[in-house]
Amino acid sequence: MILREIFLAFAQIFDLIIQLYIFIVIARVILSWVNPDPYNPIVRFLCSVTDPVLYRLQRLVPLQFGGIDFSPFVLLLGLTFLKRIVFAVFLQLASYL
Asked if the model's pLDDT at residue 11 lies above 90, the reply is no
Q: Report how far residue 67's alpha carbon sits from residue 69's, in angstroms, rounded to the nearest whole number.
A: 7
pTM recorded for the entire structure? 0.86
Q: Between 1 and 9, where is the model more confident?
A: 9
Tell me what pLDDT residue 24 has.
97
Q: What DSSP element (H or E) covers 44?
A: helix 41-60
pLDDT tens by residue, 50-73: 999 999 998 888 877 787 888 999
Half-sphere exposure of 30 (CA within 13 A, CB side): 7
Asked if the model's pLDDT at residue 91 lies above 90, the reply is no
Tell me what pLDDT residue 93 has.
83
Residue 67: which region, alpha, beta or left (left: phi > 0; alpha: psi -120 to 50)?
left
Could you give phi then psi for residue 36, rounded to 5 degrees? -75, 160
Single out the residue of 81, 69, 68 nearest to residue 22, CA to CA.
Answer: 81
